[in-house]
Amino acid sequence: MTDQTAAHDHHGDHHDAPPSNFLDRWVFTTNHKDIGTLYLIFSLVMFFVGGTMALIIRAELFQPGLQFVEPQFFNSMTTVHALVMVFGAVMPAFVGLANWLIPMMVGAPDMALPRMNNWSFWLLVAAFTILVSTLFMPGGAPAGGWTLYPPLVLQTGDAFPFMVFAIHIMGASSIMGSINVIVTIMNMRAPGMTLMKMPMFVWTWLITAYLLIAVMPVLAGAVTMLLTDRYFGTSFFNAAGGGDPVLFQHVFWFFGHPEVYIMILPAFGVVSQIIPTFSRKPLFGYSSMVYATASIAFLSFIVWAHHMFTTGMPIAGQLFFMLATMLIAIPTAVKIFNWLSTMWKGELTFETPMLFSIAFVLLFTIGGFSGLMLAIAPADYQYHDTYFVVAHFHYVLVPGAVFTLMAAAYYWLPKWTGYMYNEKIGKLHFWCSAIFVNVLFFPQHFVGLAGMPRRIPDYPTQFADFNAISSVGAFLFGFSQLLFVAAIWSSVKGKQKATDQVWDGAKGLEWTLPSPAPYHSFNEPPHID
Amino acid sequence: MAHASQDSYYIPHGSHWPFVGTIGLFTIMVGASIWLNGADVGPVIFALGFAVLFVMLFGWFGTVIRESESGIYNNDVDRSFRMGMGWFIFSEVMFFGCFFGALFYARGISIPWLGGDSNNFFTNALLWKDFTAIWPSNGPAAIGGAYETMGAWGIPALNTALLLTSGVTLTIAHHAIQAGHRKTLNIFLALTFILGFIFMGFQAYEYIHAYSELNLKLSTGIYGTTFYMLTGFHGLHVTLGAIMLLVVWLRCLRGHFKEDHHFAFEAVAWYWHFVDVVWLFLFIFVYWL
């Protein structure tokens, strides 16, 4: 009963040392830092699992014809790559950052609900054990695309119920994690830490957590409908029974569009921490950042059908969703201009976290612009389901969300481990990533505009050159990420001690703690002026 | 908000129950999947998973109840629990919203469009020529065959009265716990879950009646689908809520809770009222209109 050990007389006994027993430290832990570390390691492993699948896809697409894999397996790769990267890599990485940083940033001793925190993490591991195991099942892993559209997805083999239940479990994990984040932020702030004094990372996570609680149950409902349609004779997506396959698309994208902001809002939070530090200026337009984030979150609920312009929606619906989508450009532009204004006339230095953040601002904007192109309904009839879409969402997710995760790792690693990472490896990692990510994804715009469909293992020879370039970029980008592991390792096994403040422009409560941060962040709440 | 008493916020140090719960849920899901794929061992694994989950529930809740009764949860911890429960109920609202959305979509969009409405003249003319859009419907192919719908003013109206009454008895019990009237509390809390169990009995009777006499089944097109999925998930929540009320009642009998410290009671009460409100929507949109 480890629960009981600290049940009495908490005063004067702060348990500053982590438990020495492996199980107590890493399996039964309720410590926000250890759980954060578990999340981050899990997401890094998933990043390489999903990355390997991406390289299988790019290897097959290096030239026309079928070289390496069967079409069915190719489709499994596109499907599982997406599910792994979205739910296993990007989201858990941000949850890991939230766990590590939110209690330190708001001056709390830990997360508000520590046992549930542990459950959130282990449920995620259970869900991905189930999902990845479907690769070895009769009929193969799910191959209908990560959007799981019926009736195609209903043809999945034995993997079908496993896929549905894996999504249920990861949804439960996300909901519990989000409840924890919201309650921690709303209830655990140190005296004086008013809402409008919170670091932007905390603000963006507060709003993200709200989005997660609102939409993960809807995804659970959508896959439940798939399950009952397949096994229990319901007619949700069966027109003969009065249902409609397009209903699934509505339900899915009601989840799915907020989901893309779930993956990018915390990224906005990360760069809003890093750019002021290396510009040695406060964030420009803090309150407009908060309102812009909230506006994006609100708008994310009323734009979902821009994923469905080609489904035969009435013209009034298309117009509404087109215009609502374009509105999102306004708060997003507010953010971009605020970051630029923060850098304007700052004393800039270009350590690795700053390099990744600047690359984020530039390359995310490219993804944002291609998003505006896709929002134009009549133009979308041409772009829909082509590689242009693939290029668009990879620009916002890879040099978007993933680059900020790299930036965050370099920025806070010294605080976590107590040692600086190797700056040479970090810079090399940055330049390799920044160059090769463009070699990888930029040509996909061209083949997409020329009409190459996504999720197809073979293609006409007219697309061969750009696909070859893209594949070369993919392998170079993929293997560059080993440098990231080397850089992390250089900090874990570091030689150069980090100071408490680490970066001389860094502001915020987490930099007032020693490096490495003590096992419990703030036993006595700090006072904020 | 920020509070001065935060230094005594209780942080548990390690717990094996979440991990046990993970093993339980994992086993349930794997068992259910194998079962759906037709293997005989499926139900066994499924049941085994539930056994593990129950062990976890007893262990985890037991720990929390002991901690709560020993008085180590201060007001900040209490507030965390309340906020957590509130957001959990919000997630449940979105889950039901998803299925209500499917109902409204069927009634407002998919059935009318199959009948040729909006820009779907040819859908109707070429694919489903004889289909006229009316609600209720089991679709243009009349999946499940001829059926009768469930009227609103028999058992469903009675069930509405039962649930609304249970909301009143629960509120009386709530006032009693705050005033320290333990006897009133015990009686009215018992009345609440008894009304809940009667509701479930009626619901079960209604389902049997629908299956055996009305030919109204889960597979009766979109009407049967939405009817059973909505009322079924609601019934599941009533069952859980009634069990939770029963547990809280047993705790009341043992003398747990204080006038100003009874989070578990309030959490279950919120949950019960939430289930009640969902029922009102069900009564209006599934049974009545």
- DSSP letter (8 states) at residue A419: B
How close does chain B come to A362, measured CA to CA in Å? 36
Of the candidates B10, B65, B62, B72, the one whose C-alpha atom is nearest the C-alpha of residue A187 is B10
CA closest to A177 among chain B residues: B84
pLDDT higher than 70, residue A114: yes
Of the candidates A388, A157, A368, the one whose C-alpha atom is nearest the C-alpha of residue A261 is A368
Residues of chain B numbered 45-84 and touching chain A (CB < 8 Å): 60, 63, 66-67, 70, 72, 76, 79-81, 83-84
Contact A356, A430 (CB under 8 A): yes
Cβ A28–B105 below 8 Å, yes or no? no
Cβ B84–A116 below 8 Å, yes or no? yes
pLDDT higher than 90, residue A406: yes
Active site residue ranges of A: 81, 110, 146, 173-174, 257, 259, 261, 272, 306-307, 332, 335, 454
pLDDT at A494: 87
DSSP string, B225-259: HHHHHHHHHHHHHHHHHHHHHHHHHHHHHTT--BT
Q: How many alpha carbons fall within 13 Å on the CB side of residue A8?
A: 3
- Three-state DSSP at A450 gives coil
**Whether residue A151 has a cis bond before it, omega within 30° of 0:** yes
Task: Say which of B11, B79, B111 has its CB closest to residue A110.
Answer: B11
Contact A414, A487 (CB under 8 A): no
- Distance between CA atoms of B154 and B158, rounded to whole angstroms? 7
pLDDT at B203: 97
How close does chain B come to A24, measured CA to CA in Å? 6
Task: Say which of B14, B60, B143 has its CB closest to residue A241.
Answer: B143
Mean pLDDT of B270-289: 97
Contact B105, A225 (CB under 8 A): no
- Distance between CA atoms of A463 and A457, rounded to whole angstroms? 12
pLDDT higher than 70, residue A526: yes
Cβ A233–B219 below 8 Å, yes or no? yes
Say how many CB pairs under 8 Å bridge A and B: 267
Mean pLDDT of B195-206: 97
Which two structure tokens, joined as six digits, stand for B167?
């909301």
List CB contacts (< 8 A) between B66 and chain A.
7
CATH of domain A19-512: 1.20.210.10
Cβ B224–A6 below 8 Å, yes or no? no
Task: Say which of B12, B105, B217 has its CB closest to residue A30.
Answer: B12
pLDDT at A386: 97
The percentage of residues in chain A with a pLDDT greater than 70, rounded to a whole number, is 97
Angle at CA A393, nearest 5°, toward A213 and A387? 140
Band the pLDDT of B6: cuts 50, 70, 90.
very low
pLDDT at A271: 98
Of the candidates A117, A109, A152, the one whose C-alpha atom is nearest the C-alpha of residue A28 is A117
Band the pLDDT of A525: cuts 50, 70, 90.
confident
Mean pLDDT of A28-55: 97
Band the pLDDT of B5: cuts 50, 70, 90.
very low
Which two structure tokens, joined as six digits, stand for B52?
């593990």
Cβ A113–B32 below 8 Å, yes or no? no
Backbone angles phi, psi at A378, to 5 degrees: -65, -35
How close does chain B come to A36, measured CA to CA in Å? 15
Contact A107, A127 (CB under 8 A): no
Over residues A448-495, the pLDDT tens digits come to: 999 999 999 999 999 999 999 999 999 999 999 999 999 999 999 988
- Percent helix, strand, coil in chain B, to 5, is 75, 0, 25
Cβ B102–A247 below 8 Å, yes or no? yes
Band the pLDDT of A12: cuts 50, 70, 90.
very low
A327 by Cβ neighbours in 10 Å (0-12 / 13-18 / 19+) ranks as middle
Which H or E run contains B201?
A: helix B182-212
pLDDT at A528: 81
pLDDT at A418: 96
How close does chain A come to B189, measured CA to CA in Å? 28
pLDDT at A15: 52
Strand partners, A37: none
ipTM: 0.95
Over residues A80-111, the pLDDT tens digits come to: 999 999 999 999 999 999 999 999 999 999 99
Mean pLDDT of A49-57: 98
Cβ–Cβ contacts within 10 Å for residue A529, how many? 4
* Mean confidence (pLDDT) of chain A: 95
Contact A452, A387 (CB under 8 A): yes
CA closest to B227 among chain A residues: A234
Over residues B48-63, the pLDDT tens digits come to: 999 999 999 999 999 9
List CB contacts (< 8 A) between B60 and chain A.
115
pLDDT higher than 80, residue B204: yes
Which two structure tokens, joined as six digits, stand for B109?
């969009």
